Structure 1
Amino acid sequence: MKRALHLLLTLTMLVAVLAACSSGTNKNGPSGSASPSSASGGEAAATEPPKKVELKVFMSFPRFKDQFERYFAQFKEKQLAEKNIDVTIQLEMPNADQAKQILQSRLSSGDAPDLYTLHANDIPTYYDAGYVADLTGQPFVAKLYEAVTETVKYDGKVAALPLESLSWGYLYNKTIFKEQGLTPPQTLDEMKAVTEKLQAAGVKPFLLAFQESWIPQLMMALSLGGTVSSSHPDWIQKMNEGSASYADVRSVFDIIDIIMANGTDKPFETGNEAGSAEFANGKAAMWVQGPWNAETILKVNPEMDFGVAPLPVSSNPEDAMINLATSTSLALSPTSKNKDVALDLLNYILDDKDSSALFEELKFNPIATVHQYEVFPWVNEASSYVSQGKAYLDLKLPNGVTDETAKLLQSYYIKDVTQDDIIAALDKVWQTAVKSN
């Protein structure tokens, strides 16, 4: 009897142990690899502490700090739940004027962030320097629109994840234009007539916000883009060969002079945030600024009705064209010590479920098949010019040219430099950049 009872107890305990083992669940992460729990059963997983990982993320648009912090918080929850990884994200968002210099210093000193933003036009320079990892095989690539993918390719490889795909020109206040019976001008003479009518009505034609140098350089970006694309299609090639000069496109200053002569007062006391607020409140009818500022503007005045129009550069209305570009993109450092988690975060930017809400909140254009949201009126307006063939691809200038342009245009406004000074300086910077490659 005792032996039978002992055998029964032994069998009961064995069944209990087997039942406990079989109750553990094996969860797979997004990649299909087994989670830590699969190796030792559910009971071990319940007590296993999460792996701690820190990511350094460097982004150049501080105006979107809140949005990205919230999105990254969602990623952290996802990593903990699906992979038992406790991620800490050190997010650095310096002022746009300082970001490029800070980033280059970090990269050259060996203190590279895991992920960082850069302009798509700068990809060749950073890739050749060994600062950009090849992302060709990553899941997000298959989701991108083909035309957008091409803007972040270099040497046949996808080198970054695009964030801002843009169709842009200058911004204009539709309410003011309607009140004054105006339509967006397509020639220099039409722009002069518009500024005269606005001035007569007591309305400042242009908002000037020169406290941050990247804003005034947008005038040159649009005027040069329209001029080169319409009248000097081989100018960049000739500049790279050393057989051309900014003197060949001196007419870029015609529209810049009109803008500067018809702008708001004290521009060096106004930066991007203050400029957005002033534009939102109707202080000026136009602003040479991109639709990437939509979120900041609408935060101040959610009811503001603004549009996007091409900047006139000549007497020919066909020369006024929309700029098509991918600007801010997200790259991975090849030296990242937590590359797998960094790649998870990179791919999460185009997450099938969560990405649309992020891009809609940022007021960015859709760039991928996973983006299912209604675009904004200014996007449709810019796209209407594109559909008419009035658009060009963003010019790719050598490294350093845009930064030098920014500083020179600030000096040009206060008459510290002349057009000839700017031409000589930009020619020199261009040739120095070409020779260093």
Structure 2
Amino acid sequence: MKKMPFLIVMFSFLVLSCEKKEIKPIDLKLFNYKVEYAKQVREVVESFTAKYKGKYSIEIETIPYEAQLVLEARLREKTGWDIIMIPPYSSIEKNASGGYLLDLSSQPFMQKIYDSVKPPVTYDGKVYAMPYGLSAYGVFYNKDIFAANQLSVPKNIGEMKDIINRLQSNKIVPFSICGKDEWTSGYLFFSLISSSMGKEVDRWIESMNEGVSSFNNPKNDRVFEILDFYRANGGSNIKSIDYYVQMKNFASGSTAMLVQGFNEYNVMVDQNSKINAGIFAFPIGEANSSDLCVDVDFAFAISSNIDKEKTEGAIRFLDFLTNYETMELMSKGARIIFGVKDFASSGVTGDIKKYLDEGKIVNWAHRKIPAGVFEESKSRIKKYLTGETTKEEVSKNLDRVWRINIENR
């Protein structure tokens, strides 16, 4: 009987030893190429590891320069990351076709994502990344100017012309246009091509790659007509207006509308924090069916070359990203359009969400074409807007550059 206290002490010691034994976390590595979101990604990771009480450890590596080349090389060598921030289209195609990405098609969290933004991260019928941050391009408008002039968002080009007439009769410049810097013109051009062609844009790109189509076609004729309309209603001397003046003119209320991308919303708010802006799709034709250009900016993928425990942890992290609280954390100090259906929105993001909810979006053509063609379009369309070249010359040169890019692939 005297041995009982000793046995009890030994048993207690063993129990305490087990309780104090440190559980080794499952180590995950996360690849980030968006420097502007580095702080938010870090805070999201901290929140995730806290939720799982140290079960997971996530090391973040941010590579801003030549990020995709580094990513592809490391994945090939199987020395890459477990959770991967990745851009759409070519990066998905290269890494999915190489067998480096996990098929996420059947994951429950993918049900929370808009179907309309899944094609840019789809390869061979399978979804290989979760669209997270989106980009958009359309017509920003000053809601106060519209209200003061009893104007509403146009549904077609006829209503857009009525808006222009009302603004001009009240001595208000309709559009803020940049005619000095080249880079803005390429984005404008391909957003209009996307809107004009709609769902047919992919087939047109395929036919251009096959060498059987041209920029000189009826739907692009309509694009040039819109460019003429746009140029004619941007005030005088647009040739001297650079990007910063373009943004300032709209932010200050000197013009009523601005055709730009969502990233520029941050710039206009920095210039005028009280600006009351909205966004709508540029109406192309007479039908009430204009779609807004929306595409994937960045997505999250999972490496296919990791063990079961790490895969489970990575899946949990992607699911965690779709939580309302996580999206609030991710957008703290940043403006993000999420690919998740129930993200909080108001103002400009609320307008974009409405297009997403209604399925009235079209993916942005410039992300799918040869890079050299997009670069060439910037100078060509800038010259077209300033009256230095013709539609025929633009089409001929872009056709030529496309052929050269295909031949040199």
Match of 2:142?
173
| Aligned pairs for 1:35-434 within 5 A | 41-45=18-22, 55-59=30-34, 62=36, 64-75=37-48, 77=50, 81-83=53-55, 85=57, 87-93=58-64, 102-107=66-71, 110=74, 114=81, 115-120=84-89, 123-124=92-93, 127-128=96-97, 132-136=101-105, 138=107, 140-165=109-134, 169-186=138-155, 191=160, 194-195=163-164, 198=167, 201=170, 203-208=172-177, 215-229=184-198, 235-248=204-217, 249-260=220-231, 262=234, 266-268=240-242, 270=244, 279-291=250-262, 294=265, 297-298=268-269, 301-314=272-285, 316-318=286-288, 320-332=290-302, 343=314, 347=318, 350-352=321-323, 354-358=325-329, 361=332, 363-365=335-337, 367-368=339-340, 371=342, 374-378=344-348, 381=351, 392=362, 394-395=364-365, 397-400=368-371, 401-406=373-378, 408-410=380-382, 412-413=384-385, 418-431=390-403
Which stretches in structure 1 are left out of the alignment for 5+ residues?
1-6, 25-40, 95-101
Instruction: Say how many residue pairs are matched.
Output: 395
In the alignment, the residues of structure 1 paired with residue 144 and residue 227 of structure 2 have an alpha-carbon distance, to the nearest angstrom, of: 24
Give the structure with higher Rg (CA): 1
| Range that drifts further, 66-75 or 229-238 | 229-238
Q: Cα gap change, 1:103/1:388 in structure 2, threshold over 3 Å: closer, same or farther?
A: closer
SS in 2 for 1:328: strand
1:120 Cα deviation from its structure 2 partner:
4.7
Structure 2: runs of 5 or more not aligned? none
Secondary structure of 2:32's partner? strand
Instruction: Check whether the contact 2:251–2:271 (CA below 8 A) recurs between aligned residues.
Output: yes
Q: CA deviation at 1:347?
A: 1.1
- 2:321 counterpart SS class: coil
Q: CA deviation at 1:135?
A: 3.5
Of 187-196 and 218-227, the range deviating more from structure 2: 187-196
- Farther off after superposition, 240-249 or 133-142: 133-142
C-alpha separation in 1, matches of 2:380 and 2:395 = 10
- Counterpart CA distance in 2 for 1:342 and 1:425 is 50
Contact 1:216-1:410 within 8 A present in 2 as well = yes
Task: Indicate conservation of the 8 Å contact 1:218/1:288, yes or no.
Answer: no
Distance 1:205 1:66 in 2: 38
TM norm structure 1: 0.69
- Tell me if structure 1 keeps the 8 A contact 2:48–2:320: no
Identity over aligned pairs, percent: 22
Greater RCO structure (CA 8 Å; 6+ sep): 2
TM-score, normalised to structure 2, is 0.73
Query: Which secondary structure does the structure 2 equivalent of 1:181 belong to?
Result: coil
Q: Summarize deviations over 1:317-337 as a string: whole Å, max 9, x none.
A: 446433354443234566789
Flag the 1:183–1:397 CA change in 2: closer, same or farther, 3 A. same
Alignment root-mean-square deviation, CA: 4.6
CA spacing shift, 1:157–1:189, aligned 2, 3 Å: closer
Q: How far apart, in 2, do the equivalents of 1:352 and 1:210 lie?
A: 42
Counterpart amino acid of residue 307 in structure 1: G
Among candidates 1, 13, 35, match of residue 20 of structure 1 = 13
